[in-house]
Amino acid sequence: MSGMAVQAQGLDKGYGQGDKRVQVLRAFDFAVPAGEMVAVVGPSGVGKSTLLHLLGLLDRPDAGHLELFGTDVAALPGRERARWRNRRIGFVFQFHALLPEFSLEENVAMPRFIAGERRAKALGSARELLAAVGLTSRCGHFPDQLSGGEQQRGAVARALAGEPELLLADEPTGNLDGSNAEALFTLLRELHGSRRLTSVIVSHNEALARRCDRIVRLTGAVALEERPRP
Amino acid sequence: MTVLRMLIGRYLLGLRRRTHVAAVSAISLTAMTLGSAALVITLALLEGFQSTIRRQLTESGVHAELRPRRGAALPGGEWLAELRRRHPQLEVRGVSSGAVWCLVSDAAVPADLEVVDTLTTVEVNRVLAARLAAGAGSQIVVAGHRLVLTPLGPAPAQRSLVVGRVIASRPNDDRSVLRVPPALARGLLGTTALQRFELRDAEPARAWAVASDVQAEVPEEVEVVSFADLNRPLLAALQLERVMIGLGVGLVIAVAALNLLCNLALLAAEKRNDVAVLAALGLEPRHVTSLFLTLGLVIGFVGGVLGVGVGGLVAFVLDRTAALPLPRGVFIVSHVPFSVTPGAVATVLAVSLGAALLASLAPARAAARRDVLEGLRYE
């Protein structure tokens, strides 16, 4: 895989109006080569999640240029952005965000249901993904019947259901204890390699961040440091 | 769209965990059902009474009239004989009218005199019979406007008549009416030129079609007045009654729709996080709108169908069992009649669907416009 998966130049993003406006990102540049796993670290409120939301097309920058896999996504209309989120981007939230009325396999198949795929085929793909994350025996269970680690692994499987090229994870281990966090990060690393993903992972956990190919440390709206993974 | 069907089914049934979601949906459904049932029963009650009135009109009244377009007399010719030949089922009676006085011992009662060419006996309507305290076989003295010379000078012509039959008065007609054959009328009125023809079909149900049946067979100088036009004020009043009462009871459905609006808004707020997650997974805003719109329409449709079923059944049972008797002599029927018509069913279904649609629009649009990030943070 070659080329740049993510190219962001001069991104501005702020929230609020007038005296209460907070400028989270200012003239922010960010690039991720295809196939790289990048950890984004920094103190709370520095803009890590904001960056991820912009990359995941959940929000629009106030200014700047953003390309994903060569496409200028900042100007895409709403329907196209939705399609990108469904098919080309996978998102793992800090809280698992599984839908309580649906079983684990239905949750994992949800991106495919949204894409219009037939139920049987979508569920078949979901079961394969659940096997890949070690949750075959939990397919028919509902989210409230799963442990925290199982819920987050289910969320990872769902993020991969649309066969995305870009995986974004916002504090995926934030709600997990040490061993579960370690196990989940190992899973992310394995899936990143086996599915040839480009991954951007926001994390407070420095130890886990060092397991990525590169660490990007945010210290303010503009200041940016990069430290290659040894 | 598969995902919308799945979401609607899970949110409506609420099979897991969020049982209050299912309870809220059930409350909305019950409200729509009760509103629809109330409207069906009310429309059935109105139709029951009004169809009875219409049947009375067709059974006792004139189905069509032939009147001169110009002047006071109908044109001559063979057209009338031809009309009678072509429509043997029609009773055709020529009528002319004037004013007379019915003399009783201490008073004179004014009355409308109608000269009917097919009559062989004297008829009085119930109003005149009551005023004269007369019945079949009673002798009455009638004074017309034709003057005759008497030893005391000119005086109104008088005739003594025997009442052959007391006939029913037309609904809402409180005139005193005396009907006589042409031979008796000449002495009272002088001229008996026919002013109109009254048509009655042997089959009362065909009353509405008589005018259109004969329209092409009368001369241009003759105007055909239909059954609907003859009874326009009463029929208009019945229609207005139906509309106003229907609107009044329809407010029950409006209340149910407001309940649905509140419940959909509650559901949209409850599902804020879920909708945000679905949007993050690629669900378009228009599909979010469709989701909540469809939820509301399903509740409106199912509630409407159930209400029609329940209300129709109640009306049917009440009518067949004559469960609500009415005092004899006061009403023209012995029990409260109910009649459910296809038109009423369609109206109720349309109203419940329309109310559900209007109630669902605002919550659906609001849910689609919500910021995805706000929803994701709402946990």
> Where is the domain boundary, B185, B205, B228?
B228
pLDDT range class, residue B174, cuts 50, 70, 90: confident
CA distance linking residue B263 with residue B257, whole number of Å? 10
Q: Same domain, yes or no, for B146 and B273? A: no
Instruction: Identify all chain B residues contacting A58, using CB atoms and an 8 Å cutoff.
Output: 280, 372-373, 376
Q: Which residues pair with B225 in a beta bridge?
A: B65
Question: B283 and A158: CB-CB below 8 Å?
Answer: no
Q: What is the ipTM of this complex?
A: 0.91
Rounded to the nearest integer, the mean pLDDT of chain A is 89
Residue B364, judged by CB atoms within 10 A of its CB (0-12, 13-18, 19+), counts as buried
Q: Would you say residue A222 has pLDDT above 50?
A: no
User: Angle, to 10 degrees, between the axis of helix B272-280 and the axis of helix B285-320?
Assistant: 130
Predicted pLDDT of residue B10? 84
> Where is the domain boundary, B190, B205, B228?
B228
Q: Same domain, yes or no, for B259 and B125? A: no
- Which of A20-29, B53-62, B194-203, B354-363 reaches the highest mean pLDDT? B354-363
Q: Same domain, yes or no, for B181 and B53? A: no
Q: Would you say residue B60 has pLDDT above 60?
A: yes
Q: Same domain, yes or no, for B69 and B12? A: no
Q: Would you say residue B159 has pLDDT above 90?
A: no
Q: Same domain, yes or no, for B187 and B76? A: yes
Predicted pLDDT of residue B83? 86
Angle at CA of residue B273, ends B298 and A66, nearest 5°: 115
Please give the backbone phi and psi of residue B135, each rounded to the nearest 5 degrees, phi first. Answer: -140, -170
Helices (H), chain B: 2-13, 19-60, 79-86, 126-132, 182-189, 210-214, 227-230, 232-270, 272-280, 285-320, 342-369, 372-377
Question: B14 and A119: CB-CB below 8 Å?
Answer: no
CB A147 within 8 A of CB A96: no
What is the average per-residue pLDDT within A187-207?
Answer: 91
User: Which contacts (CB < 8 Å, 24+ apart) does range A224-230 have?
Assistant: A224/A28, A224/A29, A224/A30
User: Angle, to 10 degrees, between the axis of helix B285-320 and the axis of helix B342-369?
Assistant: 150
Q: How many domains is chain B partitioned into structurally?
A: 2
Instruction: Give the residue from chain A lying closest to B16, CA to CA.
Output: A101
pLDDT range class, residue B25, cuts 50, 70, 90: confident
What is the average per-residue pLDDT within B311-340?
Answer: 87
Q: Same domain, yes or no, for B275 and B160? A: no
Q: Same domain, yes or no, for B6 and B73? A: no
Instruction: Give the residue from chain A lying closest to B379, CA to CA.
Output: A95
Residues within 8 A of A (CB atoms), B 160-179 only = none
> Where is the domain boundary, B180, B206, B228?
B228
CB A41 within 8 A of CB A200: no
pLDDT tens per residue across span B224-274: 999 999 989 888 988 999 899 988 988 988 999 999 999 889 888 888 889
Q: Same domain, yes or no, for B220 and B72? A: yes
Q: Same domain, yes or no, for B199 and B269? A: no
- A58 near B CB under 8 A: yes
pLDDT tens per residue across span A39-72: 999 888 888 999 999 999 999 999 999 999 999 9
Q: Same domain, yes or no, for B163 and B254? A: no
CA distance linking residue A200 with residue A202, whole number of Å? 7
Question: A99 and B11: CB-CB below 8 Å?
Answer: no
Predicted pLDDT of residue B16? 58
Q: Same domain, yes or no, for B284 and B344? A: yes
DSSP-assigned states of every residue in B272-292: HHHHHHHHHTT--HHHHHHHH
The shortest C-alpha distance from B15 to chain A (Å) reads: 8
Q: For residue B334, give every residue at least 6 positions away whose Cβ sits within 8 Å of its Cβ, in sequence order, or none.
A: B322, B325, B326, B328
Angle at CA of residue B75, ends B70 and B78, nearest 5°: 155
- Domain range for B326 is 2-57+234-377
Q: Same domain, yes or no, for B267 and B354? A: yes
Instruction: Give the residue from chain B lying closest to A49, CA to CA.
Output: B373
The H-or-E segment that residue B192 falls in is: none
